[in-house]
A and B are shown apart, each in its own frame.
Chain A
Amino acid sequence: MNRLLLSFVFLLTAIPSTTYAHKVWLLPSQTVFSGPEPWLTVDAAVSNDLFYFNHFPLGLDNLVITAPDGTHVDAENKAKGKYRSVFDLPLTQRGTYRVAVVNDGAFASWEENGKRRRWRGSAAAIESEIPADATNLRITESFGRVETFVTNGAPSLDALQPVGKGIELIPVTHPNDLYSGETATFRFLVNGQPQKDMEIVVIQGGTRYRSSQEEINVTTNEEGEFQVTWDEPGMYWIETSHQDDETKIKNAVGRRMSYAGTFEVLPQ
């Protein structure tokens, strides 16, 4: 019944994405490293359960890894399996790496011969891939960031400077300095500006072993800041989204931005 209702709502609102019904995530093998060249390995997937790969692998075409010195570095051993993608990263620099999948594109839906068509792709491909005479065409710009942070040695901030596009999590508390029993503060920016009233969901991994999601719901304040108190050590997933009509794509009705980050909270 719920599923039926959900599909109906989907059709009505015509947010043409099925992936948004699921959680997207990167799962780092660990986030705190030491040594001359420790290796990080990451699972990337789309699923309902955190952090279990049982639905779709997350595409790695738009993997953007920012090294501690601010330069972009490439992952190694990228592979896509049935339910998950994986990649490795040798941490040759000391400091904090920002590891992200940044999807910048558009969704569209229209009617063709009485049937609803759905499409997703890059903004540049709209003109060539969507029929010019499409009826009830609805285009939405989309910008999604899925990320995690890892540190070799002492946490640093250079890789965490805002890019200025989409939703970004900016540290007040460093994302690799999180410990159980403590409260962390982060700030959300939308296109580089602090955004108030963003609704945030925080869920600890290991959902398979408990009866409820145990979501923590928080909202950003005037400065775009929110706080989370970590009751237990573990991997946590932080998700939020934002919509507005400031799109640069021709004929688009608006812009939808999403954010999903994975954060490791260590025991004291």
Chain B
Amino acid sequence: MMNRIALMLGIALLGVSQTTAEDWKATVEIPRLNVSEYHRPYVAIWIQDENRKCVANLAVWYQLTKSGEGEGTKWLPDLRQWWRRSGRSLEMPVDGVSSATRPAGKHELTFDDHKQRFSKLPAGKYSLMVEASREVGGREIVELPFVWPSKTTQKLNAAGKEELGEITFVIPSTK
């Protein structure tokens, strides 16, 4: 109760924080793997709050077409955390969020269309979550914690060990 009041007060005091011209952006590296049978991983990228509640879905990469293994959506629960926190309540595809799987390499993402939503996030602790799951391969999740809002630009980075390479996330400062 106390927390909720504090939170609301926080929001009231902050108003709708103005972000700078800087963008929220991320890079996600899918490692090149030397395996006999390689399939591009399913990847989900989202922001969760301290209670692990998903507050924003940023990207979901999955197989959009039907294959011998059935509909691509069939394997979405393999992104276990994302499925639990968000995916299972969504109707796929999701505009501006879901898209096809991507090849190995570094992928740059900007979140222009989410900016409005980010700016409305209540002050608090959050994490960028990146989860990857690969058919006949492994599954990995990388978490990048951050605080919102912040007077300085936050540049986070972390790296996965198996299914994900380097992850960076830039959170613009607020004025």
Binding site for B on A (CB under 8 A): 32-36, 38, 151, 153-155, 177, 179, 266-268
CB distance from B80 to the nearest CB of A (A): 6
For A177, list chain B residues within 8 Å (CB).
84
Tell me which of B70-78, B93-101, B122-130, B145-153 binds A. B70-78
Say if the beta carbon of B83 comes within 8 Å of chain A: yes
CB distance from B43 to the nearest CB of A (A): 16
For B76, list chain A residues within 8 Å (CB).
34-35
B81 touches A35 (CB 8 A): no
CB distance from B39 to the nearest CB of A (A): 17
B89 touches A36 (CB 8 A): no
Nearest residue in B to A31 (C-beta to C-beta)? B77
CB distance from A143 to the nearest CB of B (A): 33
A35-B84 contact, Cβ under 8 Å, with A153-B89, A154-B89: no
A267 touches B73 (CB 8 A): no
B88 touches A154 (CB 8 A): yes
A266 touches B80 (CB 8 A): yes
Tally of chain B residues near chain A (CB < 8 A): 14
CB distance from B96 to the nearest CB of A (A): 20
Complex alpha-carbon distance, A60 and B41, angstroms: 40
A34-B83, A35-B70, A154-B88 known; 17 new pairs, CB 8 Å cut-off, are A32-B83, A33-B74, A34-B73, A34-B74, A34-B75, A34-B77, A34-B88, A35-B71, A35-B73, A35-B74, A35-B76, A38-B70, A153-B88, A179-B84, A266-B80, A267-B80, A268-B81
B73 touches A36 (CB 8 A): yes
For A35, list chain B residues within 8 Å (CB).
70-71, 73-74, 76
Complex alpha-carbon distance, A259 and B73, angstroms: 34
Bitwise, B30-67 to A at CB < 8 A (1) or not (0) is: 00000000000000000000000000000000000000
B77 touches A33 (CB 8 A): yes
Complex alpha-carbon distance, A157 and B162, angstroms: 38
For B87, list chain A residues within 8 Å (CB).
34
Complex alpha-carbon distance, A267 and B78, angstroms: 11
CB distance from A157 to the nearest CB of B (A): 14
A36-B80 contact, Cβ under 8 Å, with A153-B88, A154-B88: no
Complex alpha-carbon distance, A205 and B70, angstroms: 29
Complex alpha-carbon distance, A34 and B63, angstroms: 13
Interchain CB contact (< 8 A) of B80 among A151, A153, A155, A268: A268
B74 touches A38 (CB 8 A): yes
For A268, list chain B residues within 8 Å (CB).
80-81
B70-120 CB contacts (< 8 Å) to partner A: 70-71, 73-77, 80-81, 83-84, 87-89
A32 touches B77 (CB 8 A): yes
CB distance from A180 to the nearest CB of B (A): 11
CB distance from A255 to the nearest CB of B (A): 39
| Best-surrounded residue of A32, A151, A177, A268 (most CB of chain B within 10 A) | A32
Nearest residue in A to B141 (C-beta to C-beta)? A268
Nearest residue in A to B72 (C-beta to C-beta)? A35
